[in-house]
Amino acid sequence: MIRQKIPVSLCAAVLTGILCIGGTFSYFSDYSLQKNRVAIGKNETHIEEHFPEPSPPGDQEYTEYPKKVWVKNTSAAENGFNVDCYVRVSVSYSNYDIARGVTLIGLDIVNWKYNSEDGYYYYKTFLKEGQSTTPLFTGFSIDRGKIDTLYLDKISEFHIDVYEESVEAGEFTDYQTAWNFYLSPVSV
């Protein structure tokens, strides 16, 4: 009888071992693959404008021209990759003499704030991806009476140069805090 118990016990032990090895093997051989895509957000903005071809002023002393200028937080190739940002714009002229006779028309002083210390117009609210600012201005005028007559005939054309910059809005509560953070040098 003892002889019969040994083979039965041995068979039971071998069978248990085979099941354990098979279960362990299937545990280690089973897997799934999940690809996680991670990207860094971008801060990408650009100037947009509407400026129809102007007609020559002729001998008019005062002339107005339509010109709308605004900034857009450009949508990236895939939505969700552009960060919220604050923008600022500077306006300059290619000729100092013409600058004395040019006046911006429809200047938006509700949404934009001019800083005379650095010469920039700051947009007060941040832009989300795909959003645009309101136009900074809607046109300009040229008053020939304000330009020195010595230079008036020498100016055949000029440029209104618009330059824009942006910074990530991040956790900043307003545009001033954001710009102060990015413009201040890092202290050691």
How do residues 90-113 score in pLDDT, each as one tens digit? 999 887 778 888 999 999 999 999
pTM for this predicted structure: 0.74
Structure confidence at residue 139 (pLDDT): 95
Alpha helix ranges (H) inside 74-172: 96-99, 149-152
| Residues facing 165 on adjacent strands | 88
Q: Which helix (H) or strand (E) holds 42?
A: none
Q: What is the pLDDT of residues 10-29, one digit of tens each?
A: 666 666 666 556 555 555 55
Q: If we measure between CA atoms, which residue out of 163, 156, 136, 145 comes closest to residue 56? A: 156
Q: How far apart (Å, rounded) are the C-alpha atoms in residues 103 and 56? A: 18
Q: How far apart (Å, rounded) are the C-alpha atoms in residues 101 and 49? A: 22
* pLDDT(134) > 80: yes
Q: How far apart (Å, rounded) are the C-alpha atoms in residues 64 and 170? A: 40
Query: Please, what sign has the CA dihedral across residues 148, 93, 133, 124?
Result: negative
